[in-house]
Amino acid sequence: MAKSDLYKAAGVDIDLAHTLLDRVKKSIAATRRPEMLAPIGGFGGLFQIDLSKYRQPVMVSSIDGVGTKLMIAMMMEKYDTVGHDIVNHCVNDISVQGAEPVYFMDYIGIGVLRSPLYEEVLGGIAEACGKVNCAVLGGETAEMPGMYGNDFDLVGVITGMVEKDKIITGEKIRPGYAAIGIKSNGLHTNGYSLARKIVFDECKLGVHDVVPELGESIGEALLKPHICYWPAIRQALADGASEIDMVINLGMVKNGQYPQVTEEIRLLKQEGGDKILKVIIETCYLTEEEKIEMCHAVTAAGADFIKTSTGFGTGGATLEDVYLMKEHIGPNVKIKAAGGIRSKEDMEQYIEAGCSRIGTSSAISMLQDGE
């Protein structure tokens, strides 16, 4: 009896594994990068880092799994999305440290190797890697009927690169920094044990039940692939910011903690370097004394602008506030008026009063109406 037949009798189909892998080799090969020194299939993947691209290169690695979202995929008999899930999850994990993904490896542990599960999972992995220029360097498929039964598990390992002085650790975060939220499209790959309990056990819903509020079936909603945030992070890191807006800590101001407010502004200006720093003091909530103190704080901390408001408070800019600011700020601080400016005449009055900038979402229409 041939070796492959012996394995097949034990529940492991080697010939089928080769057949299914051949179906996705083209997709996987499309992710190849020049740094790869050998084709996939060796005992180890070979990847030569081009050190000429880096000053102080640091490798960042992470490993993760899709978890019980795989159970939803089996219930729906749809597997390409979980391939995206494992790649995007791993990419995001190293992205938060500023690392660019360079290569990825997968592990599939399965009870019974079958089509289209295998091709769809690997096809999803290849497609997701291709979108972020991350090479599929290799992987492992282990068919173990005695271990997994009819189930399977999916794990990914990723390696990325980042300059040592560009590693993001969060250590530089200071009070007053802005937190930017990027919208998700669902649970990604987290919390599925709880979600399954609520949806299937408590609500007694099935994967094919349509929820009107979702506009799709439970299964479709739960299988939405994990969003990859690296393109957005990469763009933000590349573009940076030329200006920074911060809102003062109103609680500190109301408690008379003016030195602490000044120090927060100073630290943010220091971290921002040559970036323009605009300090929003929300004049609508301050007394005249507090407004004057904020003029002194902004000046002493070295900020570039003092700004009247965010536009979300109970009131916007007033000419009286601009006159007051002009009187008490230092010579290197400029004024930006925002909120409550509704006409070309308003704009002209604020500029004449001493404003260097006007903040309004209707500037173009105001100027056109005033022609």
| Residues with catalytic function | 245, 307, 336
CB 264 within 8 A of CB 249: yes
User: In the chain, which ranges are continuous DSSP H helix?
Assistant: 3-9, 14-29, 69-76, 80-95, 117-131, 145-148, 192-196, 218-222, 230-239, 250-254, 258-272, 288-301, 319-328, 344-353, 363-369
Q: Is 168 exposed, middle or buried (0-12, 13-18, 19+ CB in 10 A)?
A: middle
Distance CA 281, CA 128 (A): 45
Q: Return the structure tokens found at 201.
A: 């056990």
Long-range contact set of residues 173-178: C-beta below 8 Å, sequence gap at least 24: 174/264, 174/267, 174/268, 174/271, 175/249, 175/264, 176/246, 176/247, 176/248, 176/249, 176/264, 176/265, 176/268, 177/246, 177/268, 178/244, 178/245, 178/246
Question: CA separation (Å) from 9 to 2, 118, 300?
Answer: 11, 21, 81
Question: CA separation (Å) from 207 to 61, 74, 186, 204, 223?
Answer: 35, 10, 15, 10, 10
The helix/strand/coil state of 164 is helix
